[in-house]
Chain A
């Protein structure tokens, strides 16, 4: 009998790869406040943009590996489409972070921004980073969920975590709205291009938080199924 038994199993666990992918997203999100600080101090952020670009490339490689595993194998813990949708959302988060960093590279404010505005920007950046951190935790919980054979206790932990991400995301939404209001209220102080630029930065950050929330919600749906 040839050694075919090994072929029955995947060489790499797609769930562990998904977590690895999420960790890269988290690493890229850690650069958001750092890059924002440098940007506002008029320091170059290209090196950080390059780092995130590299992380995105690594994440893309993992994405390909996950898809390859799924193209050959069946009998998953849950619907394959769910896992691929989570992957898609995680990918959208790192894309948004990458776009944010690139955006910081292409423009400079002529005048310093009002302190109230920069504070709000920093707060938004930190909240987005937190949402992504919780997203990674919820993907990690997915591994525990599988190990525990979908234990109700772990499902409960997963629910609590999803609620954290959701509340963080709604806080991000409120903050981005307040930020947008503040930006437009300063229409006579800021340059029109600055307003447009700030609005774009805010949108990219909220997009990242939105997708992080989507991941946590999908994980919760899997846990409940």
Chain B
């Protein structure tokens, strides 16, 4: 019964991530009309699932075993109640925040929820403060990394393509490098961190796969000829197609990182129910990651299109070259954090990337008022969801 409740709540959490957060992650591609909202949800449905299954375990492990010290997770009854409380606490807080229109991160919420149950169970010393500090630092650093990466990528694109006397020619020359770099990053991180392949083998295979895809992609893109005399129109049309690739990359990375928000506590509940104790290592079965991925995909597929359309319509002034930089930087930062097992907010990284392109004189304007709201919600989320989770924990303990 408890397991069923955990599965349902976890699935609903994944569903809500799919319905809302996927839209934030992919709205730049929809806004710059690289893809339609319908295409965006189709891409999201497939790639979120793959990302969750292929990379999701790293972050799930952090959520399940990183935040609370292992010695305080000996009593299966308490851990069971705690995992459920964290899931319910963060869900309730996200629901309330959505009603109030606050930009609350599901990642921050679930981390707060787990910490809340730990503190309610054994006090402040139950928290693995070193891990907690590294998570909080990653929340500060990840938008900054997104910012710096987006700034650098846009500056490179500016100097290598946009500022050239013949940008169309420069664009054609750059296509292989762009495709190669994207696939090389994904392949290398997957081989190193998920498949646990040795570095030299991972490097070799990643180089080969990225080179093959690079050649195929280049052959496809070379067929596209400029429609008119405006070279910038041609450059943007190529970036529009490349953005389909980066949208996949964003979806994939988002699935890899955010599946843990829904599945982390469920994995803990499942382990206790099936093993009767909390082991040093809580395994994360592939089918559980698939369940989370499926929840995100279903959310995106069933409710994501409407949300994506709304967000996309709000950012129609973003052109494709800028959208590409934002997507590429966001996806790379999130994927890198995922393989390090750091639960970060994809949307916050998107914001960092937007500001990065803005400071590189790529985006006309950025509303700084929104950044203040994010910061306020950031400070509120962890303590509030911790408090709600602690309340649920004490309540659930009475019933099990």
Chain A residues near B (Cβ < 8 Å): 1-16, 69-70, 72-77, 144, 146-153
Contacts and interface: CB of A to CB of B under 8 A. Distances in A.
25 contacts: A1-B21, A2-B97, A3-B23, A3-B307, A3-B310, A4-B24, A4-B374, A5-B315, A5-B347, A6-B31, A6-B310, A6-B311, A9-B314, A12-B317, A72-B367, A73-B365, A75-B359, A75-B363, A75-B366, A147-B162, A148-B162, A148-B167, A149-B154, A149-B361, A151-B165
Nearest to B355: A75
Given A1-B104, A9-B318, A11-B316, 4 more contacts: A7-B369, A9-B366, A12-B317, A150-B163
A68 B216 CA distance: 47
A12 B307 CA distance: 20
Contacts of A12: 317
A69 B166 CA distance: 33
Contact of A8 (B105, B162, B232, B315): B315
A87 to B, nearest CB: 15
A5 B355 CA distance: 12
Contact size range, B: 35 or more
Given A2-B102, A11-B314, A74 B164 contact: no
Determine chain B's interface SS by DSSP, over half rule. Answer: helix
A119 to B, nearest CB: 39
Contacts of B317: 9-13, 16
Given A13-B364, A146-B364, A1 B315 contact: no
B103 A1 contact: yes
Contacts of B391: none
Nearest to A72: B367
Contact of A14 (B21, B162, B319, B364): B364
Contacts of A13: 317, 364
B76 to A, nearest CB: 33
List the 8 shortest-distance A-B pairs measured between CB atoms, nearest first: A6-B314, A149-B158, A73-B365, A75-B358, A149-B162, A151-B163, A75-B366, A4-B103
B363 to A, nearest CB: 7
Nearest to A151: B163
A2 B105 CA distance: 9
Which residue among B316, B354, B364 has the maximum number of chain A CB atoms within 10 Å of its CB?
B364
B228 interface: no
A34 to B, nearest CB: 32
Contacts of A72: 367, 369
Contact of B164 (A7, A15, A151): A151
Nearest to A13: B317
A14 B365 contact: yes
Interface of B: 20-21, 23-24, 27, 31, 97-98, 101-106, 154, 157-158, 162-165, 167, 232, 236, 307, 310-311, 313-319, 345, 347, 350-351, 354-355, 358-359, 361-370, 373-374
A8 B24 contact: no
B94 to A, nearest CB: 8
Nearest to A4: B103
Contact of A10 (B165, B355, B365): B365
A75 B368 contact: yes
B167 to A, nearest CB: 7
Contacts of A150: 158, 163, 361
B373 A4 contact: yes
Contacts of B98: 2
Nearest to A156: B165
A82 to B, nearest CB: 14
Which residue among A72, A147, A149 has the maximum number of chain B CB atoms within 10 Å of its CB?
A149
Contacts of B162: 147-149, 151
A152 B166 CA distance: 12
A7 B314 contact: yes
A147 B321 CA distance: 9
Given A6-B310, A9-B318, A151-B162, A73 B27 contact: no
A35 B314 CA distance: 42
A147 B361 CA distance: 10
Contacts of B363: 9, 75
Nearest to B155: A149
A1 B347 contact: yes
A102 to B, nearest CB: 36
B365 A69 contact: yes
B371 to A, nearest CB: 8
Nearest to B354: A8
Given A8-B315, A9-B314, A1 B351 contact: no
B24 A3 contact: yes
B21 to A, nearest CB: 5
Which residue among B21, B97, B315 has the maximum number of chain A CB atoms within 10 Å of its CB?
B315
B46 to A, nearest CB: 22
Nearest to B109: A1
A147 B161 CA distance: 11
B101 A2 contact: yes
A148 B310 contact: no
Which residue among A5, A13, A72 has the maximum number of chain B CB atoms within 10 Å of its CB?
A5
A14 B162 CA distance: 21
A2 B365 contact: no
Contacts of A5: 24, 27, 311, 314-315, 347, 350-351, 354
A148 B163 contact: yes
Nearest to A3: B311
Contact of B368 (A74, A149, A151): A74
A207 to B, nearest CB: 31
A103 to B, nearest CB: 38
Contact of B366 (A8, A16, A144, A153): A8
B315 A148 contact: no
B385 to A, nearest CB: 13
